Amino acid sequence: MKISLEKFPEKVFIGDIAGKKMKVRFYGTTSLEDQLAVITHYFQNKETPAEKSFKDDAISSIREIVEYKFPEADLSSFAAEDALQYGLFQDIFDIPFPAPKSPEFTFIDLFAGMGGFRLAMQKQGGKCVFSSEWNKYAQKTYLANFGEMPFGDITLEETKKYIPDNFDVLCAGFPCQPFSIAGISKKNSLGREHGFLDKTQGTLFFDVADIINKKRPKAFFLENVKNLLSHDKGKTFKVISETLKELNYSIYYKVMDGKAFVPQHRERIMIIGFNNDYFKGNENFSFPELPEPSRCVAEILDPEVDEKYTLSDKLWSYLRNYADKHKEKGNGFGFGLADLNGISRTLSARYYKDGSEILIPQGEGINPRRLTPRECARLMGYDEAYIINAVSDLQAYRQCGNSVIVPLITSVSEKLVESLLNKKP
């Protein structure tokens, strides 16, 4: 599926839908991305309780598309399915990772990125009923793989209004922003005049806490960088953990390393919470015991790679000189030439710049190379069916560097769902 979005003064969507080039005008103040978000969410949640969150706005937008594309159509008894009969939006169902046909629970996917959480939760039998991701390139990748355009900025009430009621699990790999405890906070923002929720104002974690407070899911699964524990001498994590406890959730957290599943050293903190109103403290949750690392970098490499991924003489010389300069000062900064029989450094979102943290040796007399986007996806645990080339290499590198390790998230989500559904391991 190839869908490209461009913004024009006339608010026109140009794309390839169902094999046809389309040029469709949208009306009103809603962005093109959000109109596609509400349409795709509607179709992906048809005949479920979540449908009502999207139905009215989706039908309105779909009708406008059909009216523009097929002015001769008789829309006196219009239904959204008519758009499918006209051959529109069919390719949102032709995707590599559809939802389970008989889901056992529902979840929402915030700060969704490439959809690592969605892959993990769908594997446990979950159905995603809402997704949000502000980056337009990550939205394209997500759309290509799941047939759903994530909504944009989750800090906006116009985005939050689409979140359905009564979903079971909130998933979020939320960014870690500095917490500013000083200043005047909106004391009644969550119906509380005092307490830790006030202290999270102005951060993206506040929006997660706000949604948890208002929607009261049975459980949540949050992921963040390891340094969240030590940020600001531990004060940041104290605010986060006590905020979640104040919302009447029991919480469990653990720093876990993705090297148990992929050949990459990548430590992240996992935070799991259970609603005490529902579980009464009897959720019986424990983190999984991780296997010993057994993967190596060589396993994720392609046998033949385009020469464009090989470092230029100029860049390779710069990286070596940079490393030598810092080595003389006693610093450890510099490039990382990967041990093909071992594990790599942590892949970062800046990998596209020079690839310095993970360089692949190519033999004597040949400059090392970057990983390809597909190899980066493998390093994050995405399988071969995952569409990584819906965006440029640059954007694919950024998305992989910001992603979760899929099999690690899957392993933790299995334990979460066992507790959620009271399954015995």
Tens digits of per-residue pLDDT, 389-423? 999 999 999 999 999 999 999 999 999 999 999 86
Q: CATH homologous superfamily for 97-292+404-420?
A: Vaccinia Virus protein VP39 (3.40.50.150)
Residues 193, 197, 203: CA angle, nearest 5 degrees: 130
Known active-site residue 296? no
**Whole-structure pTM value:** 0.87
Distance CA 78, CA 85 (A): 12
Q: Which of 128, 171, 176, 376 is the catalytic position?
A: 176
Vertex 133, ends 130 and 138: CA angle to 5°? 120
Assigned superfamily of 297-402: DNA Methylase, subunit A, domain 2 (3.90.120.10)
What pLDDT does 82 receive? Answer: 61
Residues of the chain with CATH 3.90.120.10: 297-402
Give per-residue pLDDT as tens, 163-198.
999 999 999 998 866 654 433 233 344 454 445 566
Residue 51 has pLDDT above 90, yes or no: yes
Domain with CATH 3.40.50.150 in the chain: 97-292+404-420
